Amino acid sequence: MLQEQVVKLASISGFQLLETHISWVLLGKEHVFKIKKPIKYPFLDFSTLKDRKKYCQNEVKLNSRLSNIYLDVLPITNEKGEIYVDGRGKTIDYAVRMKRMQTGKRMDIMLTKNKVEMSQMLNLAEKIAEFHLKATIVRPVFSKRILKNTFNEIRSVRDWIKENLSSKYASDLDRMIIYSDRFIDKHSGLIKKRIKEGYYRDVHGDLHSRNIFLYRDPVIFDCIEFNDSFRQIDVLNEVAFFCMDLEAHGRNDLSNGFMNHYLELSPCMNTDEERLLFNYYKCFRANVRAKVNTLRAMQTVDPTEIEVYSREIRDYIRMMVSLND
């Protein structure tokens, strides 16, 4: 599906159109429709209609483990140049249909307004711990090369960062890649041990405040559906992402409160070496956010958007460095 077709559909149907680096999101009064862009990156492939349908179906199935807002997958059709959701004509794409939540309840927005309370973090810790304890145990084949390459994928956007931010940030990335390689070499025994002991599970994979609505019963959504290896991870990696995100918002108190309660319910960090691993995972997750924001910046020509993304890139790279000072 082409972007101009998405814009036309949004205009005719009265939807508000939002965009991520991999999807278009149409906001209606009661429902949200999410359409995957026909793109291909090293870590995902939405390049064919068949693939996009498959991953839409995966998205509904996997996210239904955590919430009931995912409804179904609907065809996007074209009838003589008119674009419809679940209408007449030839199917040109697919959309995930979800219940629309209140934007003001989204956790990242609440954080910026200083409206998130510790009691909500304790509630969230309980929900995530319960989900993790029930999640399917996975035992991926350990590979130093794959672990290193996953962190070092940030190299794919290094040139853009050097050219558009500064050589300093590119040099910082080089230092972090060296740190990651050395960490994996030194602590590979611990990682293999945690795989054997069942700490690797099929979880969410993208657990941060933008993917949570803070109702009385928290709504966690938008898990990774396009790459199993991004979702089938150490539970410590998962909660490290959430804690890193809270700390990026300047809320170390919420991060500590969440993690302490989570560990009471799901004790997965018991040694000094595991605490080092937790810190490594936070660094890795800051790496991921820096890369995602770089991809977003590379896709837009809007100077205001580029500046917003650039600010976040700089913040996340600085956070990576600070976690290892």
Domains in the chain, CATH or no CATH each:
3-100 (3.30.200), 107-322 (3.90.1200.10)
What pLDDT sits at residue 21? Answer: 85
pLDDT value of residue 248: 94
Name the phi and psi angles at 184, rounded to 5: -65, -40
**What is the pLDDT at residue 50?**
97
What is residue 167's predicted lDDT score, i.e. its pLDDT?
Answer: 96
What is the per-residue pLDDT for 52?
A: 97
Specify the pLDDT at position 113. Answer: 97
Q: Give every residue of the chain whose pLDDT is below 70, as ranges.
A: none
User: What is the pTM for the complete model shown?
Assistant: 0.91
SS3 state of residue 138? coil
Rounded distance, CA 41 to CA 22, Å? 10
> What whole-number distance in Å separates Cα of residue 167 and Cα of residue 173?
10
